[in-house]
Amino acid sequence: MGNTGQLRRNNLTALVLGLVIIILVNIISGRIFTRLDLTSEKRFTLSEATKDMLAQIDDLVYFRVYLEGEFPAGFKKLQRETIDMLNEFRAYNANIEYEFINPTASNDATERQRIFSMLVEKGLEPTDLQVKTKEGTSKTMIFPGAIAAYQSREMAVSLLTSRRGVAPEEILNSSIQNLEFALADAIRKLIDNKRPAIAFLEGHGELSAEETADAYRALSEYYSVQRVRLDGKLNSLSERESIDSLNTRIRNKYQTIIIAQPDSVFSDKDKFIIDQHVMRGGRVLWLIDPVAASLDSLQSSTQFIAMARDLNLTDLFFNYGFRINNNLVMDLSALPIPVKVGETAGQPKFDFFPWYYFPMLTPSGDDPIIKNLNAIKTEFISSIDFVETTADLQKEVLLTSSRFARTVNTPVLITLEMLGKPVDERLYSKEFVPVAARIEGQFKSMYDQRMPPEILQSKEIDFKNESPPNKMIVMADGDVIRNQLQRTAGKLMPLPLGYDKYTGQQFGNKDLLLNMMNYLTDDSGLISIRSRELKIRLLDQAKIENERLYWQVLNIGLPILLVLIFGIIQAWLRRRRYTR
């Protein structure tokens, strides 16, 4: 009896101790938040930028996700990954809620059409989908996206990336990889009330509003964007700010300015305005074409002479640590262009030939600005060199040509006669010619020691001879942010930035522009989310077809065989034990 009582007391003690441990673990886990991610690429670990953004949400953010219904396996995977990502968001902030909706659930065709029209009006793009049924194959319309709502605002979120000329499997995998950015970006836009101000410069023949329409629209989702003319006005990029009742100072109106493909001379006064913008901590995105060359020049003639442009910016560039050369980069990795090769039944016949003056740049490296970007489309791009300055500047190349490139100095004859002819690859011996770079540090004013004392000491000018820690990006091509135009219903309409209407390919120009602007406006969190890479492990389709029977037998027969072997061994051991 004594042993029995002792056993009961021990069991009771163990039970109470176990309950106490469970309660303590729950209390501690309620106060200390932690999660374990054992995947090799940390696919279930949110970036620090996303966590910081989620911590700022102080009200309900509700996602209505239209990924419910009968889908193929790829879309089912996108659905599961979306649920997992939203659950990850909820783990860091309980204000995230969601529901999945099937927009085709209604049996009433009129009601379904009303829902479809409503979703299109809200900004979701439909996708036609072939679905296999018992009766065969049917075509249905799906909306692979969500409507995010916060307070009185709503925003459409596309969960399926749009990439022309890419296999459906790659699009789905790219969409899964982009989920964190798509959802976090939508939340950010909804809750963000203060947007940095940026400006496109005008007045020197820069790209027009029509040519930068899609760039302007894309940037407007994150920034307050304007177009500004300098015209020698000292206050065109700055404004006076009161410090107190007695003192004022001059500050920049815009955090970043974009100078895109100017074709005429900058006056010394305009250069001074830009220089002081930099000295006050303003950033610059230089998109400069030092050579006057355009494919439009070949519309009326088969050749033209490309000449260097005089922009009067060379000394300013040297002062900031770089030089844009008066040459053109030719690359064997080039965009094809359509060329008329004859007529068929009275209709012109076109064929495509690689145009070596239009290099396709393949981003490589781990710099967040270019990481995981698609190829970049360029037109008549030039090379960049770094030069030594008195300032301590850090310079890094962002984009280069391929391994098979050459440079031709101006003036140079550009002719269509080169198309279709054999290429002498020995001429293309230059590797990775730099065409874009970023520069960081404390820049020195080009006008220090060059301005009269009365100007340097003027309170109206508030001259600065050195910048705070600052940065700029330079790329020797303005066409990188120029969208093509297409005539629709008698009107010229802008096409998406990076889309080539001749080949139907979508390039990464828009993402490059957004990454560069995120970097210049110190919004590096967006870059880190957008450039995040998840390893999507695809099945080898060729191997599946060639070795289908082998893998079927292996996956079905081997487990059964192992169970039989285990059963036989167990029966033999039992018989041996009990027959002794």
- What pLDDT is attached to residue 376? 95
220 shares a domain with 172: no
203 shares a domain with 181: no
Last residue of a domain, one of 482, 499, 522: 522
Inside any domain, residue 35: no
- Rounded to 5°, the CA angle 244-520-310 comes to 105
379 shares a domain with 459: yes
240 shares a domain with 132: no
455 shares a domain with 386: yes
- What pLDDT is attached to residue 10? 77
- What pLDDT is attached to residue 535? 52
* 73-96: b (≥16 Cβ within 10 Å) or e: eebebbbebbeebbebbeebbebb
Inside any domain, residue 335: yes
Confidence of residue 573 (pLDDT cuts 50, 70, 90): confident
Continuous H helices in 194-332? 213-220, 268-279, 314-319
Q: Which strand (E) or helix (H) includes residue 85?
A: helix 73-92
Inside any domain, residue 153: yes
488 shares a domain with 354: yes
301 shares a domain with 382: yes
DSSP string, 29-46: HHHS------STT-TTS-
What are the backbone dihedrals phi and psi of residue 516, each rounded to the nearest 5 degrees, phi first? -65, -40
227 burial type by CB count under 10 A (0-12 exposed, 13-18 middle, 19+ buried): middle
Confidence of residue 98 (pLDDT cuts 50, 70, 90): very high
| Residue found under tokens 């004594």 | 2
Inside any domain, residue 252: yes
Inside any domain, residue 554: no
Q: Are 12 and 4 in contact (CB under 8 A)?
A: no
Range of 284's domain? Answer: 197-522
Inside any domain, residue 168: yes
Q: Are 516 and 471 in contact (CB under 8 A)?
A: no
**Which of 147-151, 338-342, 560-564 is predicted least confidently?**
338-342
Q: Identify which has the larger pLDDT, 112 or 277.
A: 277
- What pLDDT is attached to residue 474? 98
Confidence of residue 538 (pLDDT cuts 50, 70, 90): low
For residue 330, which of 422, 421, 409, 436 has the smallest C-alpha distance? Answer: 409
Last residue of a domain, one of 189, 214, 230: 189
pLDDT of 1 higher than 60:
no
- What pLDDT is attached to residue 556? 85
Let me know how long the chain is.
580
Inside any domain, residue 558: no
Confidence of residue 135 (pLDDT cuts 50, 70, 90): low
pLDDT of 163 higher than 80:
no
Q: Mind listing the pLDDT tens digit for each residue in 280-318?
A: 999 999 999 999 998 887 777 778 899 999 999 999 999
- What pLDDT is attached to residue 419? 85
CATH number, domain containing residue 69: 3.40.30
237 shares a domain with 169: no
Confidence of residue 33 (pLDDT cuts 50, 70, 90): low
Q: What average pLDDT does this structure show over 79-89?
A: 90
pLDDT of 6 higher than 80:
no
274 shares a domain with 138: no
Task: Provide the CB-side half-sphere exposure for 474 (13 A, CA).
Answer: 28
Number of domains into which the chain is organized: 2
- What pLDDT is attached to residue 520? 94
270 shares a domain with 202: yes
- What pLDDT is attached to residue 203? 93
* pTM as predicted: 0.77
**Counts for the chain of helices (H) and strands (E), in that order:** 14, 29
Q: Which strand (E) or helix (H) includes residue 5?
A: helix 2-31
Sign of the dihedral defined by the CA atoms of residues 334, 339, 344, 345, in that order? positive
338 shares a domain with 391: yes
Task: Tell me the C-alpha distance between 301 and 352, whole Å.
Answer: 18
Q: Mind listing the pLDDT tens digit for each residue in 474-486?
A: 999 999 999 999 8
Inside any domain, residue 326: yes
Sign of the dihedral defined by the CA atoms of residues 140, 117, 494, 480, in that order? negative
Task: Tell me the C-alpha distance between 111 and 475, whole Å.
Answer: 51
Q: Identify which has the larger pLDDT, 72 or 137.
A: 72
- What pLDDT is attached to residue 575? 79
Name the most confidently modeled range: 66-70, 136-140, 491-495: 491-495
Last residue of a domain, one of 483, 499, 522: 522
Sign of the dihedral defined by the CA atoms of residues 403, 404, 409, 413, in that order? negative
The percent of residues in the chain predicted with pLDDT above 90, rounded, is 42
Name the most confidently modeled range: 6-15, 237-246, 364-373, 497-506: 497-506
266 shares a domain with 246: yes
